[in-house]
Structure 1
């Protein structure tokens, strides 16, 4: 799958980068996108409509000349040749004075255009949560494909330049000599070469070297940066060998035991989610149970004012916030945690839940974004307190 050279993927480093931007106004635009023609003709139309929303919000504080200056980076990013021809399931664009970045999303976000003092990062945080995302490595003896999935979709990724796409990429021309095997004898450590290497033994040695190279590079360039689980999709006989050479702790023991080229991507997505769903539900239930226990012990709160004060004081260990819910308020006093209701179109106001999540992260807390039916509170927020 071709990717857009003008966009960047989502990872933890991106989130930290967005949180570090302090110069306002911060423009955050999220939109679902279509990947194929003719549906992708809707992408630039949707973008223009969201740009109008940003402009309307900016008009409340800035002059027309200033607004044009603030919107220009978004137009430059999307104005590149063929930009809208290489989109994934969604797009996010962030811009503030001296900073602009377009982000490719493998899931479809809720349409949103917000101007505030900081970027709106809650959808990025939700996207990054390991509970809902996973990688699928489809491998045979010739080549590999890597996918990112969630409960809704599975999208093929363009491989990192240092990840070998084929056995030739991994081993070059240094495949095992068809007529030579090596053995050690006695305690001398001396090796002797014999000319009786069988074809099966050569294949097994090359497969082992190939699988090891793939396992190491996928771990380094995908698993470590994202922290999300990895599923192996391969013929049953390849699973044992791959697990033997693998050192990636995020590779799940259970996998998809099929020839990945023999099934559709939709079928593979369904098989992957069948494995991942129990793990997903288990983590969600454990987290909600932990909150309920903490609340019973006096160390949990869903009161917005109490949580705001606890965040300012650095007492929040884990913050649960509701996905897609917007509370047009802001913390107006970083000492008392005072919260005031505001207009979301005000260019200084972001979603209160988004502001709370960013403050929690800055204070060393953990943040989890849950769907409404998973939230253990009605307020849109639930906090597990350190003390």
Structure 2
């Protein structure tokens, strides 16, 4: 099963042959919640069959449903989900995607795949990364307010001080001991004297410098996400001394990351991230209002469609979970046609607009309903 990525979304967005079936549903990570997931899935398949009957003969529907049916009794599949599931099927394409955030139950049959819920994960402003750091090891995590998952490091990324410094590592001349701290947290204490301790301190600084460069080049720079440091206070101070990563937030988690459960790490990271998140949303709201006032933006769907088609949309804001059933009938003039989402020729207009904007290199952001004061569910800032 895949995770949502920009590359996967682009691949799915390029498919527009025949009927494209998109299914979304909430799932559970653990027992006993995941027992209900396959039952919910079977109910969705019944709804899917009803939708397909509006356009196709019963004999054709069996071919469409066959790959979906194969998942029903796959026990291993249902035991290894995250918070949401997306399934895409069209012709020879059949993809299952595990989503690290809850999604609303949704089934869409249209001329293209419905990718907005997946894009929402990549486009929401509540995402962040975490660098877990000790004197001898680093770990990376990515998540949002709902969940945090550890990132598997590639072979080209040094995880430990031994891997980072290699032959340049000072000969081991200290004893490392772990001592319990407040609340069961633990830290490493080095026993050394004089010059030997100085050499160990130099090793730590060199290791942290490599960690800082790796965090920026491999994670922060490609993703553009805020970075939260989780480390003991004395380690945090040394890291900030060598850090040049502009994505590192001022506040951090002053505890040994190895002593924190995934849920506690998520909770503490969100406490750091939430003020940053609120400020980001406020900034975007102000930018959109100013753009509309200067006639360099709009919250009218027709205007946005016309601008998106010609590549004029610089930034598009969409309301999370908002769906406007319909299709674009004359993109150049911004003409749209609404209709029921159960119609196989009808998709979500907001989803289609988002794909258009990304096609021309525009930025798409998904905001929660309480942060979108516009009735249309969308607003755009134009390039010109």
Q: Same fold (TM over 0.5)?
A: yes
CA distance in 2, matches of 1:113, 1:95: 12
Aligned partners of 1:91 and 1:102 also within 8 Å: yes
Aligned residues: 365
1:231 is displaced (CA, Å) by 0.7
1:90-109 paired onto structure 2 within 5 Å: 90-109=84-103
Q: Indicate the residue corresponding to 1:343 in structure 2.
A: 340
1:307 aligns with 2:307: no
SS of residue matched to 1:378: coil
1:243 is displaced (CA, Å) by 3.2
CA distance in 1, matches of 2:307, 2:301: 10
- Pick closer, same or farther for the CA change 1:139–1:72 going to 2, 3 Å: farther
1:282 aligns with 2:279: yes
Q: Indicate the residue corresponding to 1:58 in structure 2.
A: 52
Output one character per residue of 1:234-284: Cα deviation in whole Å (capped at 9) or x when no partner.
Answer: 001111333344454433233211222444444433322222112111111
CA distance in 1, matches of 2:66, 2:210: 44
CA distance in 2, matches of 1:173, 1:65: 67
1:158 is displaced (CA, Å) by 4.7
Output one character per residue of 1:287-331: Cα deviation in whole Å (capped at 9) or x when no partner.
Answer: 111111122122332222232223233332222221111111111
1:14 aligns with 2:14: no
Aligned partners of 2:125 and 2:366 also within 8 Å: no
Mean Cα deviation higher: 67-76 or 377-386: 67-76
CA distance in 1, matches of 2:139, 2:274: 22
Q: Indicate the residue corresponding to 1:44 in structure 2.
A: 38
SS of residue matched to 2:330: coil
1:366 is displaced (CA, Å) by 2.1
CA distance in 2, matches of 1:67, 1:199: 74
The Cα RMSD (Å) is 2.8
Q: Indicate the residue corresponding to 1:160 in structure 2.
A: 153
Tell me which of 171, 182, 203 is aligned to 2:200.
Answer: 203
1:133 is displaced (CA, Å) by 0.4
Normalising by structure 2, report the TM-score.
0.84
Please, which runs of 5 or more residues in structure 1 have no aligned partner?
A: 1-6, 180-195
Q: Indicate the residue corresponding to 1:319 in structure 2.
A: 316
1:368 aligns with 2:362: no
Mean Cα deviation higher: 65-74 or 27-36: 65-74
Aligned partners of 2:124 and 2:366 also within 8 Å: no
- Pick closer, same or farther for the CA change 1:299–1:173 going to 2, 3 Å: closer
Please, which runs of 5 or more residues in structure 2 have no aligned partner?
A: 174-192
Output one character per residue of 1:58-108: Cα deviation in whole Å (capped at 9) or x when no partner.
Answer: 222233343333333445567666222221222222222232322222111
1:294 aligns with 2:291: yes
CA distance in 2, matches of 1:378, 1:221: 40
